[in-house]
Amino acid sequence: MAHARQVHGTNEQAGIWELAATEPWLEVTHDRGRLFVRTLLPEEPKRRVMGGPMQARQVLSGSMAGRKYYGGDPLGYEHRLGPAVFLHSPNAAYVLGQPTNLGEHFGVGATWGRLDVSPLDQEDHVTFLHLLVPTDQVVDQPPTVRWERRGQQAVVDIEFIDQNVHVELALGDGPPGQVTIQDRLSREILFEQSLASAVHPNLPIPGQAN
């Protein structure tokens, strides 16, 4: 976070940072992946990142002894309970005693912290719209993005190396919008689909016992 100012914390590894308005993208890297994050709405957001080193702990006794997990730290920033606009707030943390069954996926990966976004001014109604672009770590620059708000609709165009993505997204009442993906060279439409307008419960699997 080269364009961020630390506003709270005891050292440079843990605390709360405010992102500069001149740097619209936030980058998150892990293993061989990279995630670009950009806030489109509100248009002049206050963005703060909070987190800490998330040191791995070990279960000390019992059948799970030696198992690694990330419980955070009582004085850390990994699991702050309050929004980042409040510099002083309690932090959640836990220590395992003698667990008997944690499951195979427990403790996989560390949760370093979070991004908090809020409007500059207090408003009764605020719309949040974030763009997330997952890619490989070898991609070191975010894609070119153009977007505009047309009444109650957001129109976003994203230029990747080999594809153009066009998104129309409802911000209020009306049709939910659609996604179109086009090959940049041939202009062939690779994917086109309307966004979901309703959520339905899963149907039972035939022959499944109730």
Residue 55 is assigned to a structural domain of this protein: yes
Task: Determine the pLDDT at residue 175.
Answer: 87
Task: Determine the pLDDT at residue 109.
Answer: 66
Radius of gyration of the chain (CA): 22
Task: Determine the pLDDT at residue 20.
Answer: 93
Of 2-6, 91-95, 156-160, the range with the highest mean pLDDT is 156-160
Domain boundary among 118, 139, 160: 139
The DSSP secondary-structure symbol of 175 reads -
Least confident window among 34-38, 61-65, 176-180, 201-205: 201-205
Encode pLDDT of 187-200 as tens digits.
Answer: 999 999 999 888 88
Residue 207 is assigned to a structural domain of this protein: no
Does the structure show a pLDDT above 60 at 210?
no
More confident residue, 205 or 146: 146
Residues 116 and 87 in one domain: yes
Q: How confident is the model at residue 207 (pLDDT cuts 50, 70, 90)?
A: low
In the chain, how many domains are there?
Answer: 2
Encode pLDDT of 39-91 as tens digits.
Answer: 999 988 999 999 988 888 899 999 999 988 888 888 888 888 999 999 988 88
Q: How far apart are CA 204 and CA 191, in angstroms?
A: 29
Task: Determine the pLDDT at residue 204.
Answer: 77
Q: Report residue 102 as tokens.
A: 């944690």
The secondary structure of 69-106 as a DSSP string is: E----TTSSTTBSS-TT-SS--B------S-S---TTT
Residues 54 and 104 in one domain: yes
The DSSP secondary-structure symbol of 142 reads P
In which domain, by residue range, is 95 found? 4-139
Task: Determine the pLDDT at residue 197.
Answer: 83
Residues 98 and 184 in one domain: no
Encode pLDDT of 94-148 as tens digits.
Answer: 999 999 888 888 877 666 789 999 998 877 889 999 999 999 999 999 999 999 9
Chain center to CA of 26: 10
Contact 118, 16 (CB under 8 A): no
Residues 158 and 134 in one domain: no
